[in-house]
Structure 1
Amino acid sequence: MDVSIVHSFFLIFAGAAVVASIALYTKQPLILAYIALGVALGPSSLKLVDQPELLEGMSHIGIIFLLFLLGLDMKPSHLFNMLKKASWVAVASSLAFAAVGYLTAKAFQYTEIESIIVGLAMMFSSTIVCIKLLPTTVLHHKHTGELVVGLLLLQDIIAIAVLLGLVAIGGSEQNPEQSAYLHYLLPVIGLPTLIIGAFAMVKYLLLPLITKFDRFHEYIFLLSIGWCLSLATTAEVLGLSAEMGAFVAGVALATSPISQYIATHLKPLRDFFLILFFFSIGASFNLDLLGLVIWPALVLAILSMLIKPTVFRFLLKGLREDRSTSWEVGFRLGQVSEFSLLIAYLAASLGLIGEEASHVIQATAILTFALSTYVVILYYPNPIAISDRLRRD
């Protein structure tokens, strides 16, 4: 391993230990401490860690493991029923949030295409923040948790379609006759292929191997990691996201009696990479543009935290959800998504938006991560709650 990477890891994890201690003493969310550490040590501040792109790529593994562990807690029958029930809510809410983002960006005099991109970025909620704040041993098996997860998965599907659309725009400039068509056709075929192949592999290969060698704990650990990353890589080849592949890998393995053992033993590995993820968000932000983007980002963040819960409360009423459940789901989904960051990065790299508009989206994501985290840890059950009454692992 390169010495600079070792040095970066030392700064990140030694620094994370320090800021985590301060955050716990002052009763602040750990997620925000890691983002703040990234801002402080990153290229636009102290410049002690100058490889945010490399760290961001490594931290992506944390999201993959997070979705894999989530899938291990979801029974296929329950998941299918929830996706079927909530599909129209996901579509209607995404369109409403896109309209809010578009109109706000236009009010701040961004161009038409920049306003559209900002609107698209506002459509989604953060899978990583929402799942990080869900109790893994309780809420996943309750109706509220299933509803949150179902809506997040439907949003992820919409987000993938948006990203594919942006990629198709970029590709069509080089090959206008084929690129857009192929980019959309591949995932349409790829998703059912991935699901069918995953369940077949689990039934005919993984479960027999687990049954035969379940007393060798190291083997089960290696097999589960290999399975997760194999499906994540396969999903990318099929035009989907690695996160979706990891989730399918988890759901396919959820019927195994050893699924909870795997989930428990992978959590430390997941947390290692998630620290890198939140650090990289802060490290990649250019503080020189803060003065230009803070006001539109602040308005978008406040609107997100106010409008998203209200819209979900209204739409979930149509599913006959009770008032408290609807509000809780809405506040848990009140932030924008890591997909919003990907949209910003991709649109900027394609020349569709400028650096300022890209940083508006990034700043909005960071602000909503912070605001949403505070709301959830103060009022709803979660693993990092300040109050012992709300803390649920």
Structure 2
Amino acid sequence: MSQDPIVDTIFLVFTGAAVLATLALAARQSLLLAYIALGVLFGPSGIDLMEDTAIASDIAHIGIMFLLFLLGLDLNPKELMQSVRRTTLVTLGSAFILAIAGLGVGLAVGFSPLESLVLGGTMGFSSTIIGLKLLPTTVLHHQRMGEIIISILLLQDLIAIAMLLLLRGAATGDAPWTDVALMLLMLPTLALFAALCARFLLIPLIKRFDTIREYVFLVAIGWCMGMAELGGVVGLSHEIGAFIAGVALAPSPIAVYIAANLRPLRDFFLVLFFFSIGVQFELGMLTDVLLPATLVAGATLALKPIIFHWLLTRIGDPVQRSTEIGYRLGQMSEFSMLIGTLALQLSVIGARVSYTIQLATILTFVVSSYLVVKRFPTPIAVSDDLRRD
């Protein structure tokens, strides 16, 4: 290997991904599974070719920001707010039911009440990456299903951030309620700031120099990353900041051009994201956590479609759409692994619980993406009848 770990990482990820992706398509499997398997193979638990596993994770984090920025570019702010208000009870209700289920599973396998509660909390989040990457663009941006999924995921992200604050408070003994209140206050403040900047500064600049494509590209990336950084500084998250940046530009006609040009860049980083998931898992813990992780994953995969179907039909959504949304949101989340890792670092939970959460999340990623690709339209479907870009 060379002396540049970043070059080595890019080489390993994309050369290996090209090979495994070919095998996955030949076997009619999801490409996401190939990327995760590649991470396990090259990571510390496999043949250990990664000198610095944090590099892949750090680079991949940018992919999530670009994904949410591009989503925001295609969302009408007024329609988004209406959808968020309508799905609040669905999001909170599903999180509560799954927390109770997770509490029961945790206690049954011998975890402490606090550990079981943390476990249950992580079950309530769905993956932003899988939920949105497997949704066809036409459905994502122009149909009711896309609005519902995005609004639920956005609310789940806010709940996850609040949970992270509560964990830090539990570890330090400080009351986190002030931090949670400030977070809720900063969300509309950041959105207003982004809207004013976009309307009076960014959009006029782009209109003036829109013939220079390189300039528009640079401004779009700078705006996305700048708002992502600001979102992190004010106590929200980089992802939410990037999403708000996209929504602020959505009313402008230039949003369509920006979205089309940034999509390949997004896919580049998302390959790294799924690779990093596999890299981070330690196979040495497999024996200790296989049973509880399988139970958690099984409960999540079985309950989420039923819960979302029931709650969505209660607010008037059609049965067929509610069923499909339930399956598309049927996995655990990147936030689940983040919460499990942070809770371990803060000594709120033990290593066995943390790795249970990580393995359960990976298992739900694998099974959920497989079910969605096999049953519903996706951009990476192996069946021609279900392939929708």
TM-score of the superposed pair, with normalisation by structure 1: 0.96
Answer whether contact 1:126 1:336 (CA < 8 A) is retained.
yes
Match of 1:256 among 237, 252, 260: 252
Q: Percent of counterpart pairs with the same letter?
A: 48
Instruction: Please give the secondary structure, in 2, of the residue aligned with 1:21.
Output: helix
Instruction: Supply the distance in 1 between the matched residues of 2:185 and 2:169 (Cα, whole angstroms).
Output: 17
- Structure 2 counterparts to residues 226-305 of structure 1, below 5 A: 226-305=222-301
1:336 corresponds to which residue? 332
Q: CA deviation at 1:111?
A: 1.4
Q: CA, structure 1 residues 385+317, in 2 after alignment: closer, same or farther (shift >3 Å)? A: same
Provide closer, same or farther for how the CA distance between residues 225 and 2 of structure 1 changes in structure 2, counting only shifts above 3 A. Answer: farther
The equivalent residue for 1:199 is: 195
Supply the AA of the counterpart residue of 1:307. Answer: L
Q: How does 1:366-385 map to 2 (within 5 A)?
A: 366-385=362-381
TM-score by length of 2: 0.97
Aligned to 1:147: 148
The whole-number CA distance in structure 1 between the counterparts of 2:334 and 2:151 is: 17
- The one-letter code of the counterpart of 1:320 is G
CA contact (8 A) 1:138 1:392 kept: no
Q: Which moved more, 1:139-148 or 1:305-314?
A: 139-148
List alignment gaps of at least 5 residues for structure 2: none
Residue-by-residue CA offset, 1:12-57 (whole Å, 9 max, x unaligned): 1110111111111111111110000000100122110132222211
1:204-230 Cα shifts (integer Å, max 9, x gaps): 001101110111100000000000011
1:124 equivalent in structure 2: 125
- 1:26 equivalenced with 2:27 (yes/no): yes
User: Is 1:10 matched with 2:11?
Assistant: yes
Secondary structure of the structure 2 residue equivalent to 1:137: helix
Corresponding residue for residue 133 of structure 1:
134
Moved more, 195-204 or 133-142: 133-142
Contact 2:5–2:51 (CA<8 Å) still a contact in 1?
no
CA distance in 2: counterparts of 1:2 and 1:69, whole angstroms = 35
Alignment-mate amino acid for residue 194 of structure 2: A
Residue matched to 1:45? 46
The CA deviation at 1:163 is 1.1
Segment drifting more, 288-297 vs 4-13: 4-13
The residue type equivalent to 1:357 in the other structure is V
- Give the distance between the partners of 2:147 and 2:56, measured in 1 at CA: 31
CA contact (8 A) 1:134 1:140 kept: no
Partner of residue 161, structure 1: 162
The root-mean-square deviation of aligned C-alpha atoms, in Å, is 1.3
Residue pair 1:168, 1:183 contacting (<8 A) in 2 also: no
2:369 is matched by which residue type in structure 1?
Answer: T
What per-residue deviation string (whole Å, max 9, x for no partner) do you get for residues 159-217 of structure 1?
111111112233x34xx4xx635532431332121010000000000110111011110
- Structure 1's unaligned 5+ residue stretches are none
Is the 2:166–2:176 contact (alpha carbons within 8 Å) kept by the matching residues of 1?
yes
